[in-house]
Amino acid sequence: MNLSKRKIETERCILNNILILFSFFVASYLYMYIFLKGGYSTIASDRFFHIERFEEAYRNLKTGHVFSMISTFSSLRVGQAIGTYYPSGNLIVYAIIRSIIHKPVTSIFIFFMIGRFIGFVVSYYSCKCVTKRKDISYVFSILYTLCPYMMHNDYKRYDVGESWASIFIPMAFSGLYIVLFRKERFKGSLLLGLGMALITYSHILSTVFAIIILMIIYVTTLNIQNDRINSFKFLAVSVFIYIISTAGFIIPFIKSMLTNEVQNPQTEYFNLSIEMSSLVSESLKNCIDIPNVGFILIITALIGLFSLYKRDKRDIFERYIYVCGVLLLIFSTSLFPWGELSNTAVSIIQFPWRILTFAIMFLSLYASMIICNADFKALKYIVILLTVLFSISAISQRRDNSLVKSKEDPAPSELWFMKLNNDNYSKAISINRDTDSAVLVRDYLPKRSIPKANDIYNHNAYVNGKRYGVGRRTLNLVIRKKRLP
């Protein structure tokens, strides 16, 4: 009888997990289908920069190389060290997709879909490791993965680096929690080390933010850690796992940083912090044109304050994650004097509101725990439904706004507004455009070469003070025929 009950329970658990995965697949499909059915790529601030990275990853994989340190096929093929400073591990997924279906824009949307699906699964599993509850984990995965800021990174900015880094942030933080407060410390070490490695292979700045916040959590919880000595030992194991996992990127990155002086990404946007009033109003709108945390999480941040003053003290963990979420929310706005740091190395983060990802994680977890512990049992289902509906509405609005601004055949100076699809994609990438009409950035060029950047992009070579023009497509042929001195 016991064996029979155990078998039934196992089958029920398997079925439940299948249904959860299926729901994640459906949500991920809806996430990209709204744009896929239109067949064109949305206008986005970093769209062409990351499309060049997509193209580089795809063409490199075709030639048998997994990683690219320089722009062999992108950025007018000048060997710009974008891959050295901007990790492209996540782009391997895109390269594989495109190698199978051969449609560039469709591949991008499927890449977004797979990213959301992995995000659902990772956030669900990470939360379950911490809370041991499926309902809290499911609500958390929905709130976190479908938060407007995550959609903003995909569809308003095309920042696929930060977007994919956010997928693995819950994994790293759940690993730290297990190392500090649970007995399964080796499991926590794996989650923390591998989670940080996956973040690093997606986005360096997210890695820096994650390390700083993880260190703050470690220090501020020293008094309540179960076994500080063992915790420290397993944190060292996590560091070892991280170093081994990322050595292929980190070592060339550090070596290049120490031996080369390169042009840093633009920092003039650093002073454009979001005002708190704007963050609240945009969150209540639940749109994705401006960074925000969404309707449900901003309500959580505002109303959750009352829980701190209740007579019946809440669990210290709930109180801690709420305070973390609210403080990070504040730090992501102009309430923190970021302007005073504009002339320091801190300005390299470009956008202070990048901290929102971490605020969203903590607030999503807090909201999930409050919602699933509420006396009104149907509340969690209502929240899930509203989150999905709000997301569909926000993406639809973004599609419509982009459509109004898009142009079928823009002038070379208006390439940013191009209504990009599978048919005209090849006309947009720099490998098929002249220097004057290609979308280029000078990030990661050697600083000493900046005055000659135009010559570099035009493939002009100087030998003994004489300039030689060498066409992009015929570089090798020109060198052989002219036998330059």
What DSSP string describes 204-235?
HHHHHHHHHHHHHHHHHTGGG-S-HHHHHHHH
What DSSP string describes 108-119?
HHHHHHHHHHHH
Ranges of H-type helices in 412-474: 425-428, 453-457
pLDDT, greater one: 406 or 330: 330
> Looking at 69-78, 238-247, 263-272, 298-307, which range is the least confident one?
263-272
Whether 39 has a pLDDT exceeding 60, the answer reads yes
Q: Which residues contact 145 (CB under 8 A, 6 or more apart)?
A: 116, 119, 120, 123
480 confidence band (pLDDT: 50, 70, 90): very low
Residue at 435: amino acid letter: T
Look up residue 69 and give its two tokens.
């340190």
Whether 103 has a pLDDT exceeding 70, the answer reads yes
Render the burial of 33-44: b for 16+ CB within 10 Å, e for the rest: ebbbebebbbbb
Count the residues in the chain: 485
Is the pTM above the cut of 0.85? yes
Nearest to 293, CA basis, from 237, 243, 185, 366: 366
**Residues 110-138, mean pLDDT to the nearest whole number:** 97
Segment 353-398, tens digit of pLDDT: 999 999 999 999 999 999 999 888 899 999 999 999 999 999 988 8
Whether 175 has a pLDDT exceeding 80, the answer reads yes
Q: Give the integer Cα–Cα distance in Å for 122 and 145.
A: 10
476 confidence band (pLDDT: 50, 70, 90): very low
Q: Which residues contact 191 (CB under 8 A, 6 or more apart)?
A: 126, 129, 171, 172, 174, 175, 178
**What own/partner pairs with CB < 8 Å and gap ≥ 24 does 303-312 have?**
304/363, 304/366, 304/367, 304/370, 307/370
Segment 228-241, tens digit of pLDDT: 999 999 999 999 99
> Looking at 104-108, 185-189, 403-407, 424-428, which range is the least confident one?
403-407
Give how far Cα 23 sits from Cα of 15, 17, 19, 141, Å.
12, 10, 6, 11
For 365, counting Cβ atoms within 10 Å of its Cβ (0-12 exposed, 13-18 middle, 19+ buried), the class is: buried
